[in-house]
Amino acid sequence: MAGTITIGGAAEGLTSGSKTIGPLTILGSATLGEVHDQALTSGDNTVTVPATATAAIIVPPSSGTVTIKLKGAAGDTGLFLSEKYPTVLPFDPAHMPSTFILNAGGSVTVELTFI
């Protein structure tokens, strides 16, 4: 069975009341079973994306204090990810990356899952 990511929640205290979020579902196209701890060193760390991946989940330590940026290439400025909350990164099958870069501000281990 292929992996599935489901995101849901609620936003309370809005001017218009409350809003239900989702459920939003990303369904993997293949069973990858790739969940592993990825040790990042300071600077650029290249991550190889499995050819059949639909999405990646990047989970830093909950007590995270090390900055992590997502980059497409070494020359990119990058986008800062949360130091302590998960990032879900779905891929466009028409423009599938073979790699991406996690640029770390220091040594840190993240949990990396591909579905």
pLDDT at position 31, please?
A: 63
Question: Among all chains, which residue has been given the structure tokens 């050819």?
Answer: 51
Q: Are 9 and 77 in contact (CB under 8 A)?
A: no
Q: What is the mean pLDDT of residues 25-39?
A: 81
What three-state secondary structure class fits 80? Answer: strand
Q: 68-105 pLDDT, tens per residue?
A: 999 999 989 999 999 989 999 999 989 999 999 999 99
Q: Which of 3-7, 13-17, 19-23 has the lowest mean pLDDT?
A: 3-7
What's the pLDDT score for residue 100? 97
With 0-12 / 13-18 / 19 or more C-beta atoms within 10 angstroms meaning exposed / middle / buried, residue 3 is buried
Domains, the chain, ranges and CATH? 33-114 (2.60.120)
Global pTM value? 0.86
